[in-house]
Structure 1
Amino acid sequence: MGDNNWLKVFGDECLRCWRNIGSGGFGDVYRAKHTTLGMDVAIKLLHYKDGSASSIEKEALLMFQGGNPNMIRILGLYEGRVGEGRGLLMEFMPKGSVADLLQTLAGPPPWPLTFRMAHEISLGMNFLHHLTPPLLHLDLKPSNVLLDDSLRAKLTDFGLSRVARSVSRCSGQKDEDEGGTLSYMPPEALQSVHYKANKASDVYSYGVLLWSMVTGREPYNAVSSLVRFRIPQGDRPDLTWIDRRQTEGLDDMVKLMTECWHQDPDSRPSFLCCVNETKKIFSMHKHGLNEAVYDVLKLLVQLLFCCIHHFRQMMELKLAANGVNA
């Protein structure tokens, strides 16, 4: 599988209880129990095309060597019988993604948590952009920001989007399936086939991501073909959904997101600037963080028990309908 002196290779013998937890144009993600490490892990199995296996190894090696608390931790490489036999072994994030959280809450998280996530994402992106050579994310959106047990944000799928897009073109996916990603793509990416991504591309996506976290909404209510046309024309997510008077620092956050999604890539701030600005905003709300995290975690537990109770009721009704005693 290449010269991976830094990366441990894991096989089927140490992985049990596989369960599919997600899929996309580039592959499938499974949760499994790692008997040697004594922990649950996430395994991303990739659909390799055009030599992308070596590309993934390079990205994995880079992240394995770097290490950062705001990045998903890569534990090694998987080589076995499942799927096409190769993939990435990563830490499992039990609280899902920011997209999951926004959907569950049906709106934005409490302000202290929202602002901490904004800061943590900027820290992770600043780390990527300061690697040697710099690593672009190219697919920054709520579903690619995962949450740990304390609701701390960690980036995932860094550098893999280049593979994902090339594979999805081969997999017969329609543009509508890519609508979520299109909403976070910069205008220059939609204007020219000769577009070359750079750091400003990620900054644009970050600006739209901030809007989604602050509002708890998806950026555009339109099919992807319209989004693809409107963004280069200057359309951006609707700021009227945000009441800047709601809380301290929100006006500064809106100012930052609009700077990030500036039409001119050269006018967008660096992620170091984003780190400094979000740190300032988060510091205004840090005193309320513990309560905010507690409230959200409590709600997630309550919702889980409600789901379990509802499932049991449905099973009892089904058994009763079939004449079986529960």
Structure 2
Amino acid sequence: MKEFKHEELVEATHNYSKSHLIGKGSHGCIYKATLKKGQTVAIKTPSLGLCKLQDTSKIENEAHILSSISRNRFLVNMLGTNRNSSGHMVLVMEHMSGGVLHDLLHLTTPGSSPPSWCRRAKMAIQIARAVEFLHESKPLIIHRDIKSENILFDSKSNARLADFGLAVCISNYDSLSQLVDSVSLPAGTIGYLDPSYTTPCKLSTKNDVFSFGVVLLEIISGTKAIDVSRAPASIVEWSIQLKEENRIMEICDRRVNMPQHMKCAIRHMLVLAMQCVSSDEELRPSMTEVVTKMERFKVSIWLDMIKCLVNIQRRKKDRFKYVQHHHR
């Protein structure tokens, strides 16, 4: 992994000025910077509060996780690291210019409009592939904080999974029950956090599967994971209730008209999302199973679209024949 010079990063961010600040979270700050070679990057530093507390474990953990895996087109990859003047870790990351999934779905970006159903299906598959890559890595990686705020888009509108501050690297899957000492407490974000993940020894890939299921419901519904104006406020409980009442398609975002050729695939995606958020961990699919099913949905979308186009052409021909016949 490349070691960047402290002076280069200071110059590229104008000494980490507010004008370069593009993101802020509980673990750190993100600055947009253009390096001397013209490459635009994102520079992640630990937050001032954490530095004062001498707690930079999250950013150190992220550096450790990302340096242990190969670059992947479904992740926001790390390009290198640096130590600032205080000796704290700084990460140089790929810059994602396409925005954040949370903002896109909930229209917090001025002038934005809800994503099309085709784009939603595409991003869902890309996110699933990102999580699958982590779960299939050697050593295995559990993200522990999959949520719409941690899914960014690159310049080509491809979805990428970000923020590995809470991720856990496991060299031996069979040793999960011995992780009590190395994983302090269950971690994640309310609304996305698996209710089954109550103690460190309950950590498993199925926790990420649950969180992915919540994101999938969020993508399809266009509503937030927790919304106090909704009853129930939890997107999981609300969706399960609609499914039990045989109203599963009412989960779908009504702001965007759904093409006929998408309806079958979206219904299948909703059923898959329900499986992912099942209270019974044994019923949740693996991420490899999720990706396999979603790829089938993609094929069915194309087939249904072709059928729709054929039917449209057939109706046009029939209409033309009808007009020709009545004008003779």
Residues 52 and 253 (structure 1), Cα distance of their counterparts in 2 relative to 1, 3 Å cut: closer
Which residue, 63, 71, 75 being the options, matches 2:79? Answer: 75
Matched, 1:213 2:208: no
Residues 34 and 284 (structure 1), Cα distance of their counterparts in 2 relative to 1, 3 Å cut: farther
Query: In structure 2, what is the Cα distance between the partners aligned to 1:249 and 1:94?
Result: 29
Matched, 1:276 2:292: yes
Which residue, 239, 242, 246 being the options, matches 2:252? Answer: 242
1:11-52 superposed Cα distances (whole Å, 9 cap, x missing partner): 23254245111111111111111113x121111112452755
Superposition pairs for residues 167-186 of structure 1, below 5 Å?
181-186=189-194
SS in 1 for 2:141: coil
Residues 106 and 184 (structure 1), Cα distance of their counterparts in 2 relative to 1, 3 Å cut: farther
1:112 corresponds in structure 2 to 118
SS in 1 for 2:193: coil
1:188-239 superposed Cα distances (whole Å, 9 cap, x missing partner): 12xx34553210000001111001111111023239xx97xx79xx835464
Residues 278 and 158 (structure 1), Cα distance of their counterparts in 2 relative to 1, 3 Å cut: farther
2:27 corresponds in structure 1 to 26
Which residue, 107, 125, 131 being the options, matches 2:131? Answer: 125
Which residue, 156, 159, 178 being the options, matches 1:150? Answer: 156
1:42 corresponds in structure 2 to 42
Query: In structure 2, what is the Cα distance between the partners aligned to 1:287 and 1:110?
Result: 18
SS in 1 for 2:189: helix
1:93 corresponds in structure 2 to 96
SS in 1 for 2:12: strand
Residues 283 and 107 (structure 1), Cα distance of their counterparts in 2 relative to 1, 3 Å cut: farther
Q: Aligned-pair distance for 1:85?
A: 3.9
Alpha carbons 1:99, 1:142 under 8 Å: kept? yes
SS in 1 for 2:34: strand
2:12 corresponds in structure 1 to 16
Query: In structure 2, what is the Cα distance between the partners aligned to 1:35 and 1:288?
Result: 49
Query: In structure 1, what is the Cα distance between the partners aligned to 2:31 and 2:284?
Result: 37
Alpha carbons 1:125, 1:271 under 8 Å: kept? yes
Residues 159 and 79 (structure 1), Cα distance of their counterparts in 2 relative to 1, 3 Å cut: closer
Query: In structure 2, what is the Cα distance between the partners aligned to 1:138 and 1:107?
Result: 30
Residues 100 and 50 (structure 1), Cα distance of their counterparts in 2 relative to 1, 3 Å cut: closer
Superposition pairs for residues 219-298 of structure 1, below 5 Å?
219-222=225-228, 235-237=237-239, 239=242, 240-242=250-252, 247-285=263-301
2:179 corresponds in structure 1 to none
Alpha carbons 1:120, 1:152 under 8 Å: kept? yes
**Corresponding letter in the other structure for 2:274:** T
Residues 194 and 146 (structure 1), Cα distance of their counterparts in 2 relative to 1, 3 Å cut: closer
Residues 281 and 153 (structure 1), Cα distance of their counterparts in 2 relative to 1, 3 Å cut: same
Alpha carbons 1:29, 1:43 under 8 Å: kept? yes
Q: Aligned-pair distance for 1:147?
A: 0.5
Alpha carbons 2:73, 2:160 under 8 Å: kept? yes
Query: In structure 2, what is the Cα distance between the partners aligned to 1:40 and 1:84?
Result: 24
**Structure 1 length as normaliser, TM-score?**
0.69
Which residue, 188, 198, 204 being the options, matches 2:196? Answer: 188
Query: In structure 2, what is the Cα distance between the partners aligned to 1:23 and 1:286?
Result: 40
Residues 286 and 44 (structure 1), Cα distance of their counterparts in 2 relative to 1, 3 Å cut: farther
**Corresponding letter in the other structure for 1:69:** R
Q: Which moved more, 1:50-59 or 1:275-284?
A: 50-59
Q: Aligned-pair distance for 1:9?
A: 3.2
Residues 145 and 54 (structure 1), Cα distance of their counterparts in 2 relative to 1, 3 Å cut: closer
Q: Aligned-pair distance for 1:8?
A: 2.7
When the two chains are superposed, the root-mean-square deviation of aligned CA atoms in Å is 3.3
Residues 133 and 222 (structure 1), Cα distance of their counterparts in 2 relative to 1, 3 Å cut: same
Q: Aligned-pair distance for 1:84?
A: 6.7
1:292 corresponds in structure 2 to none
Residues 10 and 215 (structure 1), Cα distance of their counterparts in 2 relative to 1, 3 Å cut: farther
Is there any run of 5+ residues in structure 1 with no aligned partner, and where?
1-5, 163-168, 170-177, 290-326
SS in 2 for 1:207: helix
Between the two proteins, the alignment pairs up a number of residues equal to 257
**Corresponding letter in the other structure for 1:148:** D
Query: In structure 1, what is the Cα distance between the partners aligned to 2:44 and 2:166?
Result: 11
Q: Which moved more, 1:207-216 or 1:7-16?
A: 7-16
1:165 corresponds in structure 2 to none
Higher RCO structure (Cα 8 Å, ≥6 apart): 1
Give the greater-gyration-radius structure (CA): 2
